[in-house]
Amino acid sequence: MKSPAAPRRLFFWGVPVDVLSRRDALARIAQLAKGDRSTFVAFANAHVLNLAADDPGYRLVLQGQSLVLNDGVGVSMAARMFGVRFPDNLNGTDLSPEILKGAAERGDRVAFIGGRPGVAEAAARNLQARIPGLMIEFTSHGFVSPEGVADVLKELAERRVKMVFVAMGCPLQEKWSLEHLSGTSVAVSVAVGAFLDFAANNVPRAPRLARKAHLEWVFRLLNEPRRLFGRYVIGNPRFLIRAARYRFTHSPAEASGHH
């Protein structure tokens, strides 16, 4: 059977963002889960791409991800400057339950690492109640000490975990995954940000209509103004200005990797 063609990618200052529909993204993740090498999935929103622009090390980490999916209206607006339209908004909080449904159907064992103590366990309980057959074999908070990493990796190997959801916030979660899970028996690591907090019911989601209108960021800002003011009120316009400047110096062909 012929393997699917590699997804088209749009580059923001060297960071590749895959142009995929929801269905194709889920199919690609399922394909990665069947592989015999460690692969990595990340989500790129305006905040992630701002951090990558300012941090060459983080930019390299994102370049090492197997799949980087578009998250949020800011990235979609910037893509349109290059004549690219993302088929769907693939934010990690909405896509992760669908990834987990696929894992349950395949019989893949899953682990959650991230959040404050108790968050991963609560998320696991809630998600196992919602997704029949979901096997969450290991959970841990996100404050894993350097000495504790070996113990975590041992647990993942012994429990034959195939897929790990890492929720430590960016850029730590992507850096941690690439550093510690490369070359292990884990097939797919997914960097999921606040997903475990949402799944544990620690942080409220925006109403469905607000999410559909791509206004969840406004809801989150109203709920956590002090923490998120810089990310959204300053960061979003900064990202769009940066993208416009990048468009001025790069052709659509260059941004698509065709030089």
Mean pLDDT taken over the chain:
91
pLDDT category at 252 given cuts 50, 70, 90 is low
Q: Which of 26, 22, 18 is closest to 84 using CA atoms?
A: 18
Angstrom distance (rounded) from CA 126 to CA 185: 26
Q: Note the pLDDT of residue 204.
A: 76
pLDDT digits (tens, 9 = 90+) for 38-85: 999 999 999 999 999 999 999 999 999 999 999 999 999 999 999 999
Residue given tokens 């069947």 in the structure block:
34
Residue 207: count of CB within 10 angstroms of its CB: 12
Positive/negative CA dihedral, 97, 99, 104, 105: positive
Domains of the chain (ranges; CATH) run: 9-208 (3.40.50)
pLDDT category at 203 given cuts 50, 70, 90 is confident
Q: Which of 187, 117, 181, 186 is closest to 150 using CA atoms?
A: 181
Q: Note the pLDDT of residue 253.
A: 63
Fill in the amino acid letter for 243: A
Taking a C-beta distance cutoff of 8 angstroms, is the pair 136, 162 a contact? no
> What strands, in cross-sheet order, belong to the sheet with 109-114?
8-12, 15-19, 67-70, 39-44, 188-191, 163-167, 109-114, 135-140
Q: Note the pLDDT of residue 3.
A: 47
Q: Note the pLDDT of residue 259.
A: 44
Whole-number percent of the chain with pLDDT over 70: 95
